[in-house]
Structure 1
Amino acid sequence: MSEVRTEFFASFDGTRLAVHRCGEGRPVVLLHGLFSSAEMNWIKWGHAQRIADAGFEAIMLDFRVHGQSESPTDPAKYPTNVLVRDVVALVVHLGLDEYDLGGFSLGARTSLHAVAKGVLAPSRLIVGGMGTAGLGEWQKRASHFRRVIDEFDAIGPGDPAYYSRQFLKSQGVDRLAARMLLDTMPDLSLDLLANVTMPTLVVCGDEDRDNGSARDLADLLPNATYVETPGNHLISATKPEMGEAIVTFLLG
């Protein structure tokens, strides 16, 4: 069992971010989903350990407003695509040259923004729980989460937003900071996916439709492999098959 080591660094604007590292070997930078954390997406369910056991180092960022990272409430700390800038800051901080990059849901979306716009150039890319709608029609998805925050106390059992509300509450997310963070995330033109030329794994639960069609997303990427694993959007991230698919891709 590999030890998970946690350290902190200052991002481009001084915001204190947590990064968790597991294993030794080629770096694989992993980004978690919205209102989640490295612990919830990558560590708790054994994915980081599987990656470490395969001879890689899993480097897992907690996005600002998530996990053990800082949740600033100054609006100046939330420029457009701030999460992309945080990932760039991590890569620079660690001095990474040859590395792979992956993410689940928001982490996948952030990875694709960074690569499609030429900000980052990993050797390989992992896109989990993401489809075309989560990129080109993100504002529709974001409106759901804005409602969860804005109407938090009024959302009860039976409301379609209740599960998201309970998950946000369980993770202890600062709602004011999360609301500002949501406004930093623009849609991505699907035409830009032509720039994502490195080998890419698109992995998605067979019942996951939260972000649109992952299969259609894979078809738009020049060098993608599509793999389905069991579960809906949230459940698929807890299943060993997702971690196993990632390891198979990394070893391929």
Structure 2
Amino acid sequence: MEQLQVNNQEYAVQIHQRDDSLPWLLMLHGFMGDHRVFDHLIDKLTVSCNPVSIDLLGHGQSSKPTDPARYNESHQIDDIVKLIYGLNLSPLLLYGYSMGGRLALKTALHKPTLFNGLALESTNCGISDPQKRKDRQKVDAARAKRIEEDFEKFLANWSKLDLFKSPASTDENLARKYQNIQLEQSPNALANSLYGFGAGSMSPACDALSTLDLPVLLLAGSADKKYQCINQYLLEQLPNATFSSIKAGHRIHLDNPDELTEKIRDFITSN
């Protein structure tokens, strides 16, 4: 790991390979994770690209601002763009999961010329309805409060959500590692991340999807009915997108890593 200073914040960055004949793949994890949730994907990905995994703001070994406003999408997008320039990652594809997928989508919309392609796992474009967005802000605030009050209890309840049920047989060692990664996060930083960049706080990008002419790979778990529907909408709106449904729940990279890496490798090769 190396620490890179961006806009007065420290970002933990792991460059897994430097092969000048291959493109780069910047990987953005989801809420309560860090770069380690992708470790088991790296070896297979290095055949097709140079993977770079980072700890997003408030997660892992990256900075943990105490002001929720610092987690706002505009700041984080600017951080990611400057990080890419600082590392000189080109040609580059961007991959994000869930929260990291929302940030990846917003970053690609903000600076599409930086990227050769975009892969989105279990990702939405935001909440367009103002009242529903306000309702989600209340949900995010309540979750943030529970995280600060009793993080272990919150995480135990979180893991039982239907969203994470998988028809695939998840590797027990990977699942245990994943849970430990979550437990090692800072509750205060996670709460601030929810306040500043929860799904209710992010400005919706749905109306801008038609302007994004990048190749986009959309991925959703077969058991994740909510995101199956969301991805059908994204597929209709994005001008150059393909969709793959993979036998998994919401966390495809945990439930079915082999098929996920195969899809990403095919996408990288074709773009």
TM-score, structure 1 normalization: 0.82
* Count of residue correspondences: 238
Q: Deviations over 1:105-143 (max 9, x none)?
A: 1111111111223466301111111135x4546945564
Q: Which residue of the other structure, out of 173, 188, 198, is the alignment partner of 2:214?
A: 198
- Aligned residue for 2:248? 231
Q: Deviations over 1:143-166 (max 9, x none)?
A: 444322212446959x964647x9
Partner-residue secondary structure (3-state), 1:73:
coil
1:244 aligned onto 2:239? no
* Cα distance change, pair 20–188 in 1 and its aligned pair in 2 (3 A): same
Q: Which residue of the other structure, out of 39, 42, 51, is the alignment partner of 2:45?
A: 51
**Partner Cα separation in structure 1 for residue 225 and residue 35 of structure 2:** 23
Q: Which residue of the other structure, out of 114, 120, 123, is the alignment partner of 1:127?
A: 120
* Cα distance change, pair 102–121 in 1 and its aligned pair in 2 (3 A): same
Deviation at 1:74, TM superposition (A): 4.2
Q: Deviations over 1:48-87 (max 9, x none)?
A: 2211023x10011110111221212245644443321221
Partner-residue secondary structure (3-state), 1:60:
strand
Q: Which residue of the other structure, out of 182, 187, 201, is the alignment partner of 1:175?
A: 187
- Aligned residue for 2:4? 9
1:150 aligned onto 2:150? no
Partner-residue secondary structure (3-state), 2:196:
coil
- Aligned residue for 1:3? none
**Partner Cα separation in structure 1 for residue 262 and residue 269 of structure 2:** 11
TM-score, structure 2 normalization: 0.77
Query: Structure 1, unaligned stretches of length 5 or more?
Result: 1-5
1:221 aligned onto 2:225? no
**Partner Cα separation in structure 1 for residue 62 and residue 45 of structure 2:** 23
* Cα distance change, pair 154–76 in 1 and its aligned pair in 2 (3 A): closer
* Cα distance change, pair 189–77 in 1 and its aligned pair in 2 (3 A): closer
- Aligned residue for 1:95? 88
Relative to its length, the structure with more helix (as a share) is: 2
**Partner Cα separation in structure 2 for residue 22 and residue 191 of structure 1:** 36
**Partner Cα separation in structure 2 for residue 16 and residue 177 of structure 1:** 14
Which stretch shows the higher mean deviation, 73-82 or 113-122? 73-82
- Aligned residue for 2:28? 31
State the one-letter code of the partner of 1:16.
E
* Cα distance change, pair 143–202 in 1 and its aligned pair in 2 (3 A): farther
Q: Deviations over 1:171-222 (max 9, x none)?
A: 3222222222223332323110112101110011111245552122122111
Query: Structure 2, unaligned stretches of length 5 or more?
Result: 162-177
Aligned CA RMSD, in angstroms, stands at 2.9
Once the two structures are superposed, the pairs formed by residues 103-114 of structure 1 within 5 Å of their partners are 103-114=96-107
Asked whether the equivalents of residues 131 and 216 of structure 1 are also in contact (C-alpha less than 8 Å), the reply is: no
Aligned residues: percent identity? 21
Q: Deviations over 1:17-66 (max 9, x none)?
A: 101111233111111111111111x11xx222211023x10011110111
